Structure 1
Amino acid sequence: MSNFLIPAAYAQSAGGGGSMSGIMSFLPFIAVFAIMYFLLIRPQQQRQKQLKSELKALRRGDRIVTAGGVIGVVQRSREDSAEVEVEIAPNVRVMVLRDTISTVLTSTAKPANDESAKK
């Protein structure tokens, strides 16, 4: 019963240039990865790097947002400490970990290329 299928399988021609088609089949995967890297991964890495530098430069008076959504003003921050004292309401101060700060809204530090300060 299955003997009549065997000659048909041998009669098919073998595909030539298999190594080139193998490389070409991976090309779309490489292209998709490159697009994802430049659109998703790279901007996220830059944002994390920027946030890390902002957290190192935290000073008194900076407005911050914690990961829990609490907005406050930095009252005390030491570079060697992992904790920051934040005022979340008048006369209400809490200690938060530096790693839980998700955004620095305003910074008291002046930019290095501030031209209005030179005039």
Structure 2
Amino acid sequence: MIEILAAAAPAGEPPAWLTWLPILGMVVIFWFLIIRPQMRQQKQHRDRVASIKKGDKVITQGGLVGKVVKVDDTYADIELAKDVRVKAVKHTIADIIEPGGKPAND
């Protein structure tokens, strides 16, 4: 009779794949809530940087605001003030300021 009870015990355990189900669920949740939106933002930033043209007002990641004077594949020449130009790597440009944009303190 003890042999019958011992043989029945392993049948009550869940399958091995079922123990991985909560971890798989967490990975899916992380994918849709964190990873996927971040990839979408990176793609939008790449597209914005690729569309920079002469005359655009931009903000660099360092916080400098200026007007694009010249653009090539890797660099953008930005005029910060009269006769003050810097050369910035295009991917360090954080954003493009839309024309007619509202000032930050208004």
Matched residue pairs, number? 94
Match of 1:43 among 37, 40, 47: 37
Structure 2: distance between partners of 1:32 and 1:46? 20
Taking structure 1 as reference, are residues 90 and 27 closer, same or farther at Cα in structure 2, changes over 3 Å only?
same
Could you tell me which runs of 5 or more consecutive residues in structure 2 were left unpaired when the two chains were aligned: 1-5, 100-106
TM-score (norm 2): 0.73
Larger radius of gyration: 1
2: distance between equivalents of 1:69 and 1:17? 62
| Residue deviations 1:75-119 (CA, integer Å, cap 9, x gap) | 1113xx311011122331111011211222327xxxxxxxxxxxx
Measured against aligned partners, the alpha-carbon deviations of 1:9-48 in whole angstroms (never above 9, x if no partner) come to xx7x63325462x222211111111111111111111111
Identity %: 31
Distance 2:49 2:75 in 1: 11
Aligned-residue RMSD, C-alpha: 2.3
1:89 aligns to what?
Answer: 81
Partner of 1:4: none
* Other structure's SS at 2:78 match: strand
Q: CA deviation at 1:69?
A: 1.9
Output the TM-score relative to the length of structure 1.
Answer: 0.66
2:10 paired residue number = 15
Give 1:77's aligned amino acid: V
Find runs of 4+ consecutive structure 1 residues off by over 3 angstroms. Answer: none
Partner amino acid, structure 1, of 2:77? E
Q: Which residue in 2 is equivalent to 1:3? A: none
Show the counterpart of 1:72. 66
d(CA) in 1 for partners of 2:28 and 2:54?
41
| 2:55 maps to 1:61 | yes
